[in-house]
Homo-oligomer: A and B are copies of this chain.
Amino acid sequence: MSGKENYTAEIIELQRELQKLRDDFSENDNAFFLCSMAIIIFQAGAVRAKNTTNILIKNLLDSCIAVIGYWAIGWAFAYGSSSNSTVGLFIGHSQFFLAGATDYPKFFFQYVFAATSATIVSGAVAERSEFINYLTYCAIISTFVYPILTHWGWSTAGWMSRGISSGDIKTTYIDFAGAGVVHLCGGSISFVAALIIGPRIGRFSRDGQPAKPILGHSVPFAALGGFILMFGFLAFNGGSMADIVNAGDGKIVALAMINTILNGAFAAMTYLIIFKLTRGKWSLLLTINACLAGMVSACAACNKSEPWSTVFTGSGAGITYLLLSKLMLWLEIDDPLDAFAVHAGGGFWGLISATIIAHDGIVYAISDCVNHIHCKKSISQAFAQLGWQLICALAIIVWSCAIMTPIFVFLKKIGKLRVSPEVELNGLDLYKHGEDAYPYESYGHGWESGPEYQDILPQTRREIQIAISRKSTMLSDALRAVAAGRTPENINMLSNGQVQISENTWI
């Protein structure tokens, strides 16, 4: 091919091409958008038809606000540097508006995480939240709550990431893909939000009756969203985490994906079987939730677990989900999409499981002991890591709730947290957006527009039902008159052969 004197040029050329390829490849960060999109569909299917437009526009604005907020401020808090190393343990403060930032792919990736953690919360307050509440918490989570957590856990300067070092023991924060900083954060806030906003009208009765399920209007949408979410998790937990954690060994990427899907499968099967045994039905929607909880739990350590470990992590996540969703029912906290049970439950369990059954975890330490290898050191290290992980999880919960609780309480005080009962009963779509998700007049065929249908084809479903009811009432009135031996006083025969019934007999 060429003489040795050309090696330098060729190597430079190869490096250039490799760089170009890597840049092209960053397009794949788009895959993460799947998650945002999936949540949108999932949530749209899981609310009642009268609130569908509301949840859709809310999610659109989540994306818009999060990108503007994370670009302007969030990134700087999360990955900006700090001149003071003590301050730097807790917060960054440079590269506002991305000034001077060059790691655009990482920005993209983190932005989607930020939008996701905000979106999780909307599941918990769905069908009754004021619009201004959405805007407020989305802005605060994506510009402040989430960025600070990633600074703690994922930037090299953060205190959780640095951990403690003492002798042989060295702890750090184990969270490959956001089990803690994304899901536990969003899930914890969901709990607080659902608690403060209160249950939807009709969810829990006052007279000790069992809670009444409020069903979403479209199982296909909810299921489709769930399936795309699973697909999105694979992307999440697959390749691109290389941006955050230096992948090192190449197999990690594929391993992460296999662990993720196995986790989801074991969580789903565990839940499905328990549900079938206790309730006698094969439940779709709850099984999807369990599957998602399993995948959330995989986020913590899917890069450093063996596939067999998913039997433990996945099944545990399914059971955790089951228990927490029961707990919410028992507490009479109404979380329409089980955001708390899925995300906080799955995330927390994943963080713990990572210190038990992943590499270097307690199971491996015990195995070392059984084999008489570094027993004491392994055990100490493994339990210290578990302790640190618990501290980190606690910190995430406390931080998330400490920031958001006062905000929800304040919004409640000024009457901007929850819509009025009238709006809630009649649906948010028409009051707040003027856009019915399924406008009645856009269905049906022109064959129905002849004059004989004028009285049965008014503009909305509501009106058609009123019309039917009125017709019945009129006839009932007339019959009553006839039965009483009178000519029905409110009925007049018209010259065109129609029967007119005077207005005052109407409902």
Contact = CB atoms under 8 A, between A and B. Distances in A.
Contact of A52 (B220, B426, B468): B220
Contacts of A173: none
Contacts of A478: 479, 482-483
A228 B452 CA distance: 43
Contacts of A168: none
A195 interface: no
A262 B65 CA distance: 10
Interface in A155-201: none
Contacts of A439: 215-217
Contact of A445 (B23, B427, B484): B427
Contact of A28 (B19, B28, B285, B287): B28
Nearest to A475: B475
B468 A468 contact: yes
A465 to B, nearest CB: 6
A21 B24 contact: no
A86 interface: no
A375 interface: no
Given A14-B11, A461-B444, A499-B479, A218 B438 contact: yes
Interface stretch (A232-240, A338-346, A353-361, A392-400): A232-240
17 contacts: A4-B7, A19-B250, A21-B21, A27-B253, A30-B235, A57-B287, A68-B269, A97-B308, A216-B442, A217-B438, A219-B435, A220-B221, A426-B445, A426-B446, A445-B462, A478-B479, A482-B483
A465 B469 contact: no
A363 interface: no
A219 B44 CA distance: 10
B491 A483 contact: yes
Listed residue (A12, A218, A457) with the most chain B CB atoms within 10 angstroms of its CB: A218
Interface in A312-344: none
Q: Nearest 10 A-B pairs (CB), nearest first?
A: A104-B254, A425-B446, A27-B239, A23-B250, A426-B446, A217-B442, A64-B265, A57-B284, A24-B239, A215-B439
A380 to B, nearest CB: 30
B24 A240 contact: yes
Interface string A14-56: 1101111111111111110110110011001100111011001
A283 interface: yes
Interface string A60-72: 1101110110010
B41 A265 contact: no
A251 interface: yes
Contacts of A449: 425
A102 B422 CA distance: 60
A442 B220 CA distance: 14
A14 B217 CA distance: 53
A214 to B, nearest CB: 8
A105 B254 contact: yes
A247 interface: yes
A11 B4 CA distance: 11
A113 to B, nearest CB: 14
A52 B218 CA distance: 10
Contacts of A253: 23-24, 26-27
A384 interface: no
A476 interface: yes
Copies per assembly: 3
A254 B23 contact: yes
Interface string A99-139: 00010110110000000000000000000000100000000
A456 interface: yes
A477 B14 CA distance: 90
A435 to B, nearest CB: 6
B27 A235 contact: yes
A435 B24 contact: no
Nearest to A212: B441
Nearest to A507: B452
A1 B7 contact: no
A447 B56 CA distance: 22
Nearest to A227: B37
A430 B33 CA distance: 34
Nearest to A3: B8
B254 A37 contact: no
A376 interface: no
Contact of A242 (B24, B251, B452, B456): B24
A459 B22 CA distance: 57
Contacts of A487: 483, 485
A370 interface: no
A11 B7 contact: yes
Nearest to A224: B41
Contacts of A48: 442-443
A89 to B, nearest CB: 29
